Amino acid sequence: ATVAWGGCAVSVALIAGLDGHLPLWGGMLLWALPWVLYLSIVQVGQVWYGFGWESLLLETGFLAVFLGTGDTAPPVLVLWLLRWLLFRLEFGAGLIKMRGDACWRKLTCLDFHHETQPMPGPLSWFFHHLPRPVHRVEVAANHVTQLLVPVLLLTPQPVASAAAALMVLTQLWLVLSGNFAWLNWLTIALALSVIDWTPLAGEPPALTAPPLWFEAAVIAVTALVLVLSYRPARNLLSRRQVMNRSFDPLHLVNTYGAFGSISRMRLEVVVEGTADRVADEGADWREYGFHGKPGDVRRLPRLFAPYHLRLDWMMWFAALSPA
């Protein structure tokens, strides 16, 4: 509880802009603190914290430490590392689909996905009942966004901005269609870091030059990330690609992906309990309701993302392998 509430307190301080009132090193320490706290939770959480967006939050949080404060311009190298992260996130998700379930190649996965996804949202029923030709277009657009558009992130402006904007629109579509914790919103934040806002905001204000030690730290972190990127990059090119895997204990550079396989049938684990003294077949057994996991077919699914209902998600995995 101390770690969790401590992280909340630091987050509130960051939202309030406290880092802007500290020297550069103090602001960096303030940003590093929630990363260290959350890393400690992920390390002991094991399977409960094994979702891909846990590593994504850690990797993004680590890079955020080296963005500097409001008095210094964000280092170009760190901005490129954020692009590299976004590229791996989207490109990895696209490759795992093309190498996985055949329905992705046949453009038929969305005939099932909205119905069998882990935690449907209030609009999932409507997405599921869209005409099948629309589903084909959705899958084809997903392949374009995850396999072709990420390459454009590595091109000069304004092409990179256009690619990032297209990713933002795609993520908002996913926000409407289901509950995927903070995955979509964090992806949007990464994409926004790619967009060049100069045409809208005008010339940025004059900023102070960062100290030499900060520039040296940025170069060192860049070199570290490049070295640690070898195994994730090799994984992207491998026919035996794995998704949501960390190759270093600090989750600094990871692999990502989602829904390499799609369920055709939805199975639900039902948990029942009784208040009777004798728990036998004649007892009054009643089903436990979950906040997000589908249960009562008369209840409209709710929108919980970016909040992450871990138990509800784990119950979906349990239903996939009931043995």
Q: Which residues, including other chains, have CB under 8 Å from residue 255's CB and lie 6 or more apart?
A: 88, 92, 232, 235, 236, 241, 242, 243, 244, 245, 246, 247
Which stretches of the chain drop beneath a pLDDT of 50? none
Q: Cβ(93)–Cβ(146) under 8 Å?
A: yes
d(CA 284, CA 191): 52
Radius of gyration of the chain (CA): 22
CB distance 268 to 56 below 8 Å: no
Residue 62 is predicted with a pLDDT of 97
Check: CB of residue 196 under 8 Å from CB of residue 158: yes
So what's the pLDDT on residue 198? Answer: 83
Q: Which of 226, 231, 251 is nearest to 58 (CA)?
A: 251
Report pTM: 0.93
Please give the pLDDT value at position 323. Answer: 60
Contact 293, 315 (CB under 8 A): yes
> How far is residue 7's CA from residue 3's CA, in Å, rounded to a whole number?
6
Domain spans, the chain: 75-237+257-323
What pLDDT score was predicted for residue 322? 62
Q: Which two tokens stand for residue 73?
A: 């311009």
> DSSP per residue over 14-27, as a string?
HHTTGGGGS-HHHH
Q: Give the 3-state secondary structure of residue 286.
A: strand
